[in-house]
């Protein structure tokens, strides 16, 4: 018998597909002749079409943000803590749209899609996509769904960057932007971590220059290394200490190079699971989209100048122990918004879990999020 789903779940959901049959010229100069986006929706679009919320995903996210695909699913969507009836993004009030970005590996057009020009998978030939490209493709989905304006665009980490870009590139289309655990652009340290992750993938002999599909292999080791490294940056030092300490897996030192401490075992396991479910070419694309994100670049490197165009109200949230995108990075966004005379709320949430907090049920964070969303007129 299938289990009872939680009462505050959006329940069983089904992915849908949006087919864009016109060409899209990307920021890199290359053109996709057509593309598809896979997405899910939760809640109902109201008669005024004024209650739509766009959820943007982070590096390894996808369209399945809430609910279950079947009653037997062990886990709900990745942001189920925040999306559902009575939750922060209340599906009794809002119509929520969540998609897999272009270049992704969960159903939208990306490296695992057949290139219509060649009849083969795109693989490494899939063009570099940027946050700006994503926003344009999300706008096409918005038009397809007949939504004139988002009540809010929301996201954490790379998802928050998309929300910020929306307010600059389509100011009339966004009434509110909720930007969690993000940054106005990557630091040199952030880029360096991404470079090591990419190098681990690119140098894996099973990567085959990105053409690994036809060989029946995938760059497992490279992906595991990339994910392990990412994982360290998602957790705070304190959270790792709390979770693992220096516990030995087998109770005593074995004096070798096998996996020995709990933390090694955990990261290896998580990396292995990830490597089976994520495409290496997509990982490369997503990290480059992060590196290249810099909305101020076309405004004389002045973020407040870029944000002056925005018409949205802003809610910025950060976490005290996030060292990937620290509170100082969120404060840079807040400072630029204030200089641009925008309406901005900011909360730095005191919690120990680091960058990952944006995905977790941190009461103060969820309550602030809920209060902000609850005050949005629809």
Residues designated catalytic: 157, 322, 355
Q: Closer to its own copies at the Cβ: 238 or 371?
A: 238
Task: Decide if residue 300 touches its own copies (CB under 8 A).
Answer: no
CB of 244 to its own copies, least distance (A): 4
Residue with tokens 């399945």: 64
Residue 224 CB neighbour total at 10 angstroms: 23
Task: Decide if residue 378 touches its own copies (CB under 8 A).
Answer: no
Q: How many whole angstroms separate alpha carbon 161 and alpha carbon 177?
A: 10
Q: Closer to its own copies at the Cβ: 245 or 374?
A: 245
DSSP for 204-229, written as a single string: -GGGGGG--GGGT---HHHHHHHHHH
Residue 348 CB neighbour total at 10 angstroms: 16
- Classify strands 31-32 and 24-25 as parallel, antiparallel or unpaired: antiparallel
CB of 48 to its own copies, least distance (A): 41
On whether the CB atoms of residues 100 and 63 are closer than 8 A, the answer is: yes
Question: How many residues does the structure list for the chain?
Answer: 378
> Which of these, 244, 195, 202, lies nearest to 223 by C-alpha position?
202
Task: Decide if residue 122 touches its own copies (CB under 8 A).
Answer: no
Segment lying near its own copies (by CB under 8 A), choices 135-143, 171-179, 250-258, 272-280: 250-258
CB of 28 to its own copies, least distance (A): 4
Question: For its own copies, which residue of 47, 253, 300, 377 counts as binding (CB under 8 A)?
Answer: 253
Beta bridge partners of 171: none
CB of 282 to its own copies, least distance (A): 13
On whether the CB atoms of residues 343 and 313 are closer than 8 A, the answer is: yes
Cα 286 from chain centre: 9
> Which of these, 83, 76, 34, lies nearest to 54 by C-alpha position?
83
Question: What is the end-to-end Cα distance of the chain in Å, rounded?
Answer: 39
Question: For its own copies, which residue of 87, 288, 342, 355 counts as binding (CB under 8 A)?
Answer: 288
Per-residue mark of binding to its own copies, 167-206 (x: CB under 8 A): ------------------xxxxx-xxx-xx-xxx-xx-x-
Q: How many whole angstroms separate alpha carbon 216 and alpha carbon 206?
A: 9
Residue with tokens 């790379």: 158
Segment lying near its own copies (by CB under 8 A), choices 70-78, 85-93, 222-230, 337-345: 222-230
Q: Closer to its own copies at the Cβ: 47 or 188?
A: 188
Q: Closer to its own copies at the Cβ: 96 or 226?
A: 226
Segment lying near its own copies (by CB under 8 A), choices 12-20, 21-29, 73-81, 341-349: 21-29
Among positions 25-84, residues that touch its own copies (CB under 8 A) are 27-29
CB of 41 to its own copies, least distance (A): 32
Question: For its own copies, which residue of 264, 305, 331, 348 counts as binding (CB under 8 A)?
Answer: 264
Segment lying near its own copies (by CB under 8 A), choices 12-20, 149-157, 162-170, 244-252: 244-252
Cα 3 from chain centre: 29
Question: For its own copies, which residue of 58, 89, 181, 228 counts as binding (CB under 8 A)?
Answer: 228
What are the respective helix, strand and coil percentages of the chain, to the nearest 5?
40, 15, 45
Interacting residue ranges for its own copies, rule: CB under 8 A = 27-29, 127-128, 185-189, 191-193, 195-196, 198-200, 202-203, 205, 221, 224-225, 228-229, 232, 235, 237, 240-241, 243-246, 253, 255-257, 259-264, 267-268, 284, 288, 291-292, 294, 323
């Amino acid at each position: 018998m299938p289990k009872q789903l939680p009462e505050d779940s959006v329940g069983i959901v089904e992915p849908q597909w949006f087919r864009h049959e016109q060409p899209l010229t990307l920021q890199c100069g290359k053109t996709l002749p057509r593309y598809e986006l896979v997405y899910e929706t939760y809640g109902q679009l109201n008669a005024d079409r004024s209650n739509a919320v766009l959820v943007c995903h982070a590096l390894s996210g996808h369209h399945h943000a809430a609910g279950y695909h079947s009653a037997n699913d062990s886990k709900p969507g990745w942001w189920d803590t925040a999306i559902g009836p009575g939750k922060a993004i209340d599906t009794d009030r809002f119509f929520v749209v969540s998609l897999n970005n272009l270049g992704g590996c969960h159903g939208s057009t990306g490296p695992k899609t057949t290139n219509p020009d060649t009849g083969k998978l795109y693989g490494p030939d899939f063009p570099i996509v940027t946050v700006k490209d994503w926003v344009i493709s999300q706008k096409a989905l918005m038009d397809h769904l007949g939504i004139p304006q988002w009540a809010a665009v929301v996201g954490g980490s790379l998802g928050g960057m998309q929300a910020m870009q929306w307010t600059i590139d389509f100011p009339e289309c966004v009434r509110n932007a909720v930007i969690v655990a993000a940054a106005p652009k990557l630091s040199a340290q952030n880029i360096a971590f991404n470079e090591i992750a990419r190098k681990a993938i690119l140098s894996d002999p099973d990567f085959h220059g990105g053409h690994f599909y036809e060989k029946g292999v995938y760059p497992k080791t490279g992906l595991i290394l990339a994910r392990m490294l990412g994982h360290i940056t998602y957790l705070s030092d304190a959270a790792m200490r709390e979770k693992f300490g220096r516990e030995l897996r087998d109770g005593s030192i074995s004096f070798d190079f096998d996996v020995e401490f709990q933390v090694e075992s955990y990261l290896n396991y998580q990396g292995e699971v990830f490597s089976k479910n994520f495409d290496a070419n997509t990982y490369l694309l997503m990290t480059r989209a992060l590196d290249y994100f810099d909305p101020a670049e076309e405004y004389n490197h002045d973020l407040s100048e870029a944000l002056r165009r925005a018409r949205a109200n802003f809610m910025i949230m950060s976490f005290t122990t996030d060292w990937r995108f620290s509170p100082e990075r969120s404060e840079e966004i807040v400072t630029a918004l204030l200089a641009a005379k925008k309406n901005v709320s900011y909360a730095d949430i005191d919690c120990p879990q680091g960058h990952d907090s944006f995905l977790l049920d941190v009461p103060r964070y969820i309550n602030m999020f809920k209060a902000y969303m609850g005050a949005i007129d629809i």
